[in-house]
Structure 1
């Protein structure tokens, strides 16, 4: 349950412009410290004050693009958001050194977009659609 006092306090801390942005994209007024950003421009925040945030909702992401899609969050930041890792990737020594040279760069899931994978079909169809023959009338 979100209290009115918390809501107003967060509006005062962030300002009207940031409050409007948050209401459009995450639907809640939140104030916290910037923890870091990823290679796609997503910004990650945290608020550890127990009177300000509901437990379990004190870490959040501000997406760089206009559509919020969980596949836009890289795995290292996802593990921090879901409390799998205590430290963010910018501070965690294991995450900084765990990027092997053979690892492919991370890309978001493009299903439902123009960039989605579409396989090329090489099989001859069993049913051939009827094509009408046009004859010249004379």
Structure 2
């Protein structure tokens, strides 16, 4: 539950425009330190002040797109948000050196969209749909 004092404090820190945007998108007012951005334009934040945030919710992502979903977060940023890695990818030298140069760039999941993969079938169907023959009347 969000307290009124915390909401007012974050409204003053972030400004009215950003506060309103956060309330519309994530339903919570948050203010924190900007950590970095990814190739999709998503911005990542962290609030290290422990008593203001619920434990485990002090890192968050501000999605660039209005229609967003979890697959728009690249794996390296996901590991930082989920506390698998301590340092964000922009500051972690191990993460920067481990990414192989041959790896394809990350793309979001297109499942459920027009760009989703659809296999095609080359086999002849076992059941053929009925096609009515219309005869001309004389």
Interval containing the TM-score (normalised by the shorter chain): over 0.9
2:6 match: 6
1:128 Cα offset (Å): 0.3
SS at match of 2:79: helix
Poorly superposed stretches of 4+, deviation over 2 Å: none
1:41 Cα offset (Å): 0.2
1:107 aligns with 2:107: yes
1:3 Cα offset (Å): 1.9
1:64 Cα offset (Å): 0.6
1:76 match: 76
- 5+ residue gaps, structure 2: none
Map of 1:21-100 to 2, 5 A cutoff?
A: 21-100=21-100
Count of paired positions: 138
Question: Residues 61-117 of structure 1: CA distance to partner in whole angstroms, max 9, x if unpaired?
Answer: 000111220000000000000000000000000111112122111111111111111
Q: Over aligned residues, Cα RMSD in angstroms?
A: 0.9
Instruction: Name the TM-score, length of structure 2 as normaliser.
Output: 0.96
- Contact kept, 8 Å, 2:2 with 2:28, in 1: the verdict is no
- 5+ residue gaps, structure 1: none
Give the Cα–Cα distance (whole angstroms) in 1 for the partners of residues 135 and 37 of structure 2: 66
Instruction: Name the TM-score, length of structure 1 as normaliser.
Output: 0.96
